[in-house]
A and B are shown apart, each in its own frame.
Chain A
């Protein structure tokens, strides 16, 4: 069992739909991440939150909108997605977002997103 929980596990949506992906962790981690992963490829960083504030946005299109309501939750709001956005979306967390921290990231099992 993973300590980072993502819902839903699977999502199929049309290009005009609005949906949200959810991520939750109760390890007290203060850094949370969204990654996009295509099949048999490494995860690509999308966003990083540190202490509930957006720290990094890797030039992600505005059709993806992240939100961090509190230190345990991370959402990714989706709107008007394109077929090429179909992928596995992974959430991760780590203890901190600081040069002195050398701890690994903890990943959820992802949401497999299909855009029709």
Chain B
């Protein structure tokens, strides 16, 4: 079985401050982890993924995420938030060792960046 949790419905941050959007996961085998962003009236856009290798993954628009196996977490981070980063963020997980081919999405976290 695979599951993913995003514990925060909403994250508020001031422009220029660092931001973190949290994600924890559960899989039987090796996790394939993804972050997507959804802007209003748009589809989901891929930001970054972790499959193997370095625990710090860099993605689009200055975002990065840190894979922590012991804490089963994959938090999304950005050093300096922009108002234009305001959007809905989804974490997704797929069990890379078998099981479902389809990723499971978290419930989403709404990021609001205040000017």
Contacts and interface: CB of A to CB of B under 8 A. Distances in A.
Contacts of A102: 32, 49, 51, 94, 96
A86 interface: no
B98 interface: yes
Contacts of B96: 99, 102
Contact of B42 (A92, A97, A98, A109): A109
Interface stretch (A12-20, A40-48, A62-70, A72-80): A40-48
A59 interface: no
Of listed B51, B102, B110, residue having the most chain A CB within 10 A? B102
A42 B43 CA distance: 11
Contacts of A108: 43
B68 interface: no
A32 to B, nearest CB: 12
Contacts of B90: 42
Interface residues of A, number: 24
Contacts of B44: 43, 90, 92, 105, 107
Nearest to B48: A104
A44 to B, nearest CB: 9
A56 B101 CA distance: 10
B10 to A, nearest CB: 10
Given A40-B110, A102-B32, A90 B43 contact: yes
Nearest to A112: B41
Given A40-B108, A40-B110, A104 B34 contact: yes
A105 B46 contact: yes
A109 B94 CA distance: 23
Interface string A1-38: 01010100000000000000000000000000000000
Interface of B: 32, 34, 36, 41-46, 49, 51, 88, 90, 94, 96, 98, 101-103, 105-108, 110
Give the 10 A-B residue pairs with the shortest CB-CB distance, closest first: A107-B43, A42-B105, A104-B46, A107-B44, A109-B43, A102-B51, A102-B32, A108-B43, A109-B42, A110-B43
